[in-house]
A and B are shown apart, each in its own frame.
Chain A
């Protein structure tokens, strides 16, 4: 158990819908990262937050957004969902910017 929690574990929704994925970092970790992993794909970095502020942006679509709250948990919002958005979404946390990341168990999203 890495100490990073993600909810929900599974999510099934329809095209055009909007969903919110939630992540709680390890106790004491200030940085949160979001990744997308599609079938047969490696981990694609989406976005990073550090102590509530956006720190780095990767291949995140405009339909996606994220935020980190004062209690340091983070949410990833996915809107106008498409079939191709079906993937595993992982959250990772680290104690500070650039430190070793610890991954959560992931949220499996299926868009029908």
Chain B
């Protein structure tokens, strides 16, 4: 079974609107962390936001927020007030336990139109 599933290959959104990128995960470890990264066409992976499995509140970082639903094993990324510069690939990733390695999903391509 896939550990990280991103079901949306591509998403379109108009500038200034909010968009939700889906991510579901699968783990039996009670301690884990969920990450979202942005990859523009330049190739570099940019860390956006982190949610720990024991965190009581949903993580927020500026225009990014994470809709963490533990029982459903989902960690959707919400981008508010989309900007043209948000057009990129977005990857969800998970770290389990004390392991430093990350497992990545296949990514979602987000295109923001004027």
Q: Indicate whether A and B interact.
A: no
| Chain B residues at the A interface, C-beta cutoff of 8 Å | none
